[in-house]
Chain A
Amino acid sequence: KQEVTQIPAALSVPEGENLVLNCSFTDSAIYNLQWFRQDPGKGLTSLLLIQSSQREQTSGRLNASLDKSSGRSTLYIAASQPGDSATYLCAVPDSGNTPLVFGKGTRLSVIA
């Protein structure tokens, strides 16, 4: 069964810093990988979806990379802002196109 791990569990950085969040998964035969953002008490907002055939996806200051062979993905956030403070989760299907398995997330605090 797929397992997803996110490191670190929490991260605090000063405003303007570039940062990297890590996600690893145990079964490399994934269909895709999705990064989400969750604000306290809210639902999840999809940030980036990387299909298995892709190496990376970019949206504004966010860049997500995928290395299937090593079972890893990174989310790079450039020039961080206080508004980026949230919990970031990554998720992959258990197998094929089945329901997502989530990591426990990285709680990010960007200090002004």
Chain B
Amino acid sequence: DGGITQSPKYLFRKEGQNVTLSCEQNLNHDAMYWYRQDPGQGLRLIYYSQIVNDFQKGDIAEGYSVSREKKESFPLTVTSAQKNPTAFYLCASRGLAYEQYFGPGTRLTVT
């Protein structure tokens, strides 16, 4: 089955700890994206990558970091510098027709 996988589905961390969210795709897509979703806020872009070894900041990149060492993988690290990390995180990739496909999401809770 082709698609995007995100793990884990739920993640709990203590304040002050860094945490890495996994995103893997087997769609052979070049572009990948990370979004954050909060109630009443809609989706906001954190980082995106158009190609391996390259990535750009989105609208709310502060407190986050990413890497793109492989085409299939685009992990997101939520650092202790992120003031309000509790949210639903969505990873996506873009196909040849510029259609975006989404993973199932990771719900991060920081206490």
Contacts and interface: CB of A to CB of B under 8 A. Distances in A.
Contacts of A32: 98-99
Given A43-B90, A43-B104, A44-B90, A34 B43 contact: no
Contact of A99 (B41, B48, B97): B48
A46 B27 CA distance: 15
Contacts of A46: 99-102
Query: Which of B40, B48, B100: most chain A Cβ within 10 A?
Result: B100
A31 B6 CA distance: 28
Given A43-B90, A91-B100, A99 B58 contact: yes
A104 B41 contact: yes
Q: Is chain B's binding surface mostly helix, strand, loop or mixed?
A: strand
Interface residues of A, number: 22
Contacts of B45: 99-100
A99 B33 contact: yes
Nearest to B103: A43
Interface string A44-56: 1110010100000
